[in-house]
Structure 1
Amino acid sequence: MDQGQAAVLAACIGIPGILFGGILSYRAGRRQVRDQGENEHLHWLRQQRQEHYVRFLQTIDLCLETLQNLSTDIVNLSDRIDAREIDAGAHELDSLYHPRDFLQNQSDLAKNRDALLMLGPDSVDTKAQLVVVAVTEFWLAHNGILNALISNDSESEAASWTRLADAEDAVMKVRKEFIEASRTVLISPLGAQP
């Protein structure tokens, strides 16, 4: 084989090798860009989730604060009724049945829960929904006490206070479960679904 033929043979072997290497480099570069984009998106999603989880927790705490203040107001009302300082039937109770601050916080809680529904995952949204239900039950338990006070039914009043304590315990339990579900999502590796 002379040098000319060897050069042609080398070129025939080398050109496909160069082309194949170029194609592999191109595909690796595209994959790197795609992977980087996916990681940036996952990082953004994690930040959004964290912000919304914190906002939801803050709103839960505002709801609990307003309901605990409502509990104090109801205890004071009950004491005044027991001391015969006021008549429950004649006392204006609308602000206790429909506390404006709580109703606003409850509305905010529902809006924040909608954001969690969009951001996912379902495990956190499920816990958030349980929190919304428990907070509502806690509020309704307050109304049960007011109804018992108005009707002057001591048996019903005692059962209502027990319901109130149970409802508060339930809120604290699901709040803790929401925190645990949120933490699980936030500490999991990027891209891994808990």
Structure 2
Amino acid sequence: MLDSERQKRGEADAAQAAASKRVEEAETRAKEAEQRAQELEAARRQLELQRVIDVDQAEKRARTESERAETAERNFSRQRYIALFYVLPIVLGVAAAAFANSNLVAEAFPALAQGWRCWALLVSVSLLPVSIGFLLSPGYVTRRQHLDGWWPARCAHFIGKRLIVAPTLAGLGAIFQGGVWDGAKALLGIGS
């Protein structure tokens, strides 16, 4: 009986040792699993932080590219405006003045080829394209946001409105009134 008790006790001790070993292995696996979970959580946080940084950098790059494109578009729009409404009319005015000063015009209109009439013709012909450019400028500026408030566009608008249109309208009014007065005098027979 003592042998059988010892044997049972040995088996119980072996079973207890095996159970203890299984518990220790389970605890070890649980600790390893918990450590892996912590490592995965740290990696997830690191990836999330990297994603936020990448998104922020991408937004900054996109904003920078957008600003660069906006600046390029504004510069192109302004350069085109200067070319169309300042440079081109001046070149056309110089070409028209050169033509007006040629022998062809002098032979066709000999009275305009001498003295102050020649200079008046040259100035008038050379300023005509510039005047037309300044008169057309406000219509071009209203369709382009980059030109609103820009000083060359405002200057052209002012010159067109105040220095070209106003005197032209005043002159046309005077011509009309003079024509009406001359017509009335002719009908009434006054001052023949």
Under a length normalisation based on structure 1, what TM-score does the superposition of the two structures give? 0.43
Asked which structure has the greater RCO (Cα within 8 Å, sep 6+), the reply is 1
Structure 1 or 2: larger helix share? 2
Q: Greater Rg, structure 1 or structure 2?
A: 2
